[in-house]
Every structure is written in C-alpha cells, then in structure tokens.
Amino acid sequence: MARWTPVEKIQDFVNKAGGEGPIERFLSGELVLVERDVRVSVSGQANGGVTYATGINEALFRADWQKYLCEVFGVSADFLSVMKLPSVRSGFGWGIAMPQGLSAQQMLNALKPRFDDKLWQWCQNLDRAIDLEKEARTTANGPYVVWCRDRVEADEELKNLSANDLTKRGTNCMTEPERIMLEGWFHWKIGGHLDIKNVTLSAGSRYSDGNVPSADWNADYGFSVFRWDTDYRNDNIRAREVVS
C-alpha cells in the first residue's frame, strides 16, 4: 500500500485549506480546526443542541446564515462570502450576521407569523423607539458580524448588572436588533426559543426615552420586547456579551 510522504500531506492540507491565506490565519490563531459534525443534539444542553463546536467553522457559519437570511427575510447575504469576520474568542460559539436594509421592526414583522403570532412589544414601532445614535453598532456603514456565547439563556456572568454597570465595566453588549436576529435564527434552526427562564438586557441599545431594551420568550405572550431603567439590576436580567 502506497504511503504519503510528509511533504505530500502538507501540500494536501494547504490545498484543502484554500491556499496560503487561510494557512496564515490558522497559524496566527484566527482560524481553528473543528470536527466535521458541528451540530450536536443533547437534551438539556445550554446551547439548545446547536453549536459550531469549540470554535467558529467560518465556512459553515457563512453558508448557514446566508440560507437563514434568504429564507426568513428574503435578504441576499452575498456579503458573507467576502467579508472579514471578527477574531475568534473561546466560548463564543454563535455568530450574528446583520445585513443592511433590514430594521428591527421589519425583523419582528417577518418573525411574528413564524412564531404563530406570539409577539408582544411595548411600543407599536420599535424603529421609532430605538435611539440609533446610541446604538453600539448599526449597519449604517455596512453589514457586520458579531460572535456571542452559544447559550439559550443570556450570560450568567453578567447577571445582576445594570446597563450603567456594564457601561462602567466596558462590556461590549448585544444590541436589540442583534438579539431579535438571533432569536429568529435559533427558531429557524431548531424551532426553539431563547431566554425561556431569563431575560436578555440589550445593553448595546437605548430607547429614545433613555431606557434599555430587552427580549425574552414568555410562555403566555411569546417573544417579548420590553424595557428597563439603566440602573435596574436583577439576577434573571442579563446582558449578552459580543465580540465585534
């Protein structure tokens, strides 16, 4: 039986990786290797059975979100095939792709029938309520991607911290549009919902009245969009940290 030489193995690896560029990113730690089967389904798992394994498999992430954005919102996500993604951070196994031309209220309108009309929001139009000048990130200058922890429930590390506390700590927090987009993706992926026990404090956003948006899944009302004072803190109200 013929055996490969080390040189042949290295060349084969370079070819499969896509050439010199991806190899340099792998050697720098920006890219990581993961098992081919990146989806698991284990009852009770904190990530609801959806994960990109120990690191982000960029190719699968790009393909997954291109399909999601097209099927759910009718949005072309060709930008994902060419844009540079944020650096990988251990423990942040989910990504959120935010395309241009899709507002928070437009997302809610598209998701409502998919949620069997179970949607509650404290205001009629979220786009008019959110203060865009105070958003941590927007798509005004182009689409973007953030990584977040792959968990159904918001970050336990950030429980009992108000929005003002998080600002003082310099924590990079998820915005309300990002949280809505993540909810839609998770439901599209497995038919489930996020924050069924706790509430995501979207501390990367502010309403025009100065309050902080939030989102969770309520058994009675469905996907609930609410608000909290910037100084309010509670064990079950938790922000989600992101890498951008």
What is the model's pLDDT at position 55? 60
* pTM for the whole structure: 0.80
Please tell me the predicted confidence (pLDDT) of residue 46: 73
Q: Supply 58's token pair.
A: 């960029």
How large is the average pLDDT for residues 74-87? 94
**Given a cut of 50, is residue 1 above it in pLDDT?**
no
pLDDT of residue 239: 98
Task: Name the band, by pLDDT with cuts 50, 70 and 90, for residue 172.
Answer: very high
Q: What percent of the chain has a predicted confidence (pLDDT) above 90? A: 75
Q: Residue 201 — φ and ψ, nearest 5°? A: -90, 110
3-state secondary structure 102-167: CCHHHHHHHHCHHHCCCEEECCCCHHHHECHHHCCCCCCCCCEEEEECCCCCCCHHHECCCHHHHH
* Cα R_g (the chain), whole angstroms: 19
Q: Which residues of 51-79 are buried (b: 16+ CB within 10 A; e: fewer)?
A: bbbebbbbeebbebbbebbeebbebebeb
The pLDDT of residue 166 is 98
* pLDDT tens figures, 151-171: 999 999 999 999 999 999 999
CA nearest to 138, candidates 177, 184, 93: 177
- pLDDT on residue 40: 36
Q: Are 111 and 223 in contact (CB under 8 A)?
A: yes
Q: How confident is the model at residue 6 (pLDDT cuts 50, 70, 90)?
A: low
Q: N- to C-terminal Cα distance for the chain?
A: 49
Token duo for residue 104: 């928070």
Helix axes 58-73, 176-190, angle to 10 degrees: 90
For the cut 60, the answer to whether the pLDDT of residue 30 exceeds it is no
**pLDDT of 51 strictly over 70:** no
